[in-house]
Amino acid sequence: MSRRQIEGSDVQARRASQGGGAGSCRKSYGQRQSNTSVSPEPVMSDGFTWERVQAFQCVAGDKYTVPEDSSERTYFTKHAANAIIIIKNDAFAPKSLLLAKASEAIERARASEDDDLKDVLVLRNVQYGQLQKKTTPDLSGREPPADDPTYVPENNYESFLVHELSATKRFVQAPVSEGGWFAELTSDIGLKFKCAIEFEIKIDYNRDEDGGGPCGALST
């Protein structure tokens, strides 16, 4: 199985976290003033949700599954489909049988009464690097007992600053329930380069471009 990664942007994540009806069912997170600071209380869900994004608790390198029948899955599936159609219709984009087959399957799914687009584009996971895990940083600026390397917060994430030469970096320490690790917060500028989405595309690709020989089922 090969992988297709679609680069996301921080702007999209912000808009999505405020849309799709998510705010109405996650009121406590809709009240946050900033999405570049870690919410103290750990998000209970293990998967990728707008709640986790708003809490700034997505760890770089972790592959988060996406809940079925969720606004998150609908959002990414729709935009992945749009991206494939745009590339296919771009006069300057290289043409391929794979791209044509994928585009045809998407158009058929959109036209069907069942709207089975999610059966064509199956979202496997999302990676969003808001937090980059680090080895123990300089703890001298923290108040006791947090300045002790053996200290681990009992219940909540604890944020703190680390001063290195002329730079000030934002760090967080996870509570016991999350493993007690340290992580550096990704800047606003860096966030737009930290998103990767993995899909499996289910299409009929059993014959080559000349119409001969089985190629086998293909997922990408």
* pLDDT digits 0-9 by tens, 147-180: 999 999 999 999 999 998 889 999 999 999 999 9
Q: What angle do CA 188, 190, 51 make, to 5 degrees?
A: 60
Cβ proximity of 206 and 219 under 8 Å = no
**Cβ partners under 8 Å of residue 135, min gap 6:** 182
**Average pLDDT of the residues in 31-51:** 82
Residues 67-123 pLDDT 10s: 999 999 999 999 999 999 999 999 898 888 888 999 999 999 988 876 689 989 999
How far is the C-alpha of 83 from the C-alpha of 64, rounded, in Å?
22
3-state class (DSSP) for residue 105: helix
Q: Is the dihedral of CA 161, 29, 16, 202 positive or negative?
A: positive
Take residue 133 and report the two structure tokens written for it. 């895990």
User: Which of 58, 64, 67 is closest to 198 using CA atoms?
Assistant: 64
In this predicted model, which residue has the larger pLDDT, 197 or 31?
Answer: 197
Cβ proximity of 75 and 15 under 8 Å = no
Take residue 134 and report the two structure tokens written for it. 């680090």
For the whole model, what pTM was predicted? 0.74
State the DSSP code for 114: T
How far is the C-alpha of 27 from the C-alpha of 39, rounded, in Å?
14
3-state helix, strand, coil in the chain (%, to 5): 30, 20, 50
Highest mean pLDDT among 14-18, 46-50, 203-207: 46-50
